[in-house]
Amino acid sequence: MAARLQQNDYDRFEDAVAEYFGVNRTAMRCMEVLDRVGQLTAGDIARETGLTSGAVTAMLDRLERVGYLRRLRDASDRRRVLVELTAQARQMVDEIYGPLTEAMGEFERYSDKELMLIRDFLRQGGAMLVAHAARVEKQRLSRDGGAPG
């Protein structure tokens, strides 16, 4: 129950952040991946987020129009197009997530061993959620006769 309630709190925060940026939660997932990983191709973003390539392309177009990301040619392979957050987006990310990062200092009261246990719990829980998301997606496809959502 505590994990479900924490997820609700997380969702509330992410909804507020998406509203602040003026985008939807799916766009925020894309921006989170770019913030965490850096430059990626649209295909990389699709794999990281579980979205279709078409959905990613449309989302990237919207994010580029509002000035949150830019596309650039890969210096080592000019055929590849990479996507990265703009300085404007990074500044907004810092404005929103900076105070949260500072507040995370409260976790310093936990020992390294306790933090590793929490990390392992979160990773195992995340893996479980991904596996069950795949199960639900498979069930939906089976129910709908294989038609994509």
Residue-range domains of the chain with CATH: 2-107 (1.10.10.10), 110-149 (no CATH)
pLDDT in tens, 116-140: 999 999 999 989 998 998 899 899 8
Q: How many angstroms separate the CA atoms of 116 and 56, rounded?
A: 34
The residue type of 95 is E
Q: How many angstroms separate the CA atoms of 15 and 12, rounded?
A: 5
- CB-side neighbour CA atoms (13 Å) of 134: 7
Q: How many angstroms separate the CA atoms of 44 and 33, rounded?
A: 10
pLDDT in tens, 22-39: 999 999 999 999 999 999
Q: Please, which pLDDT band fits residue 79 given cuts at 50, 70 and 90?
A: confident
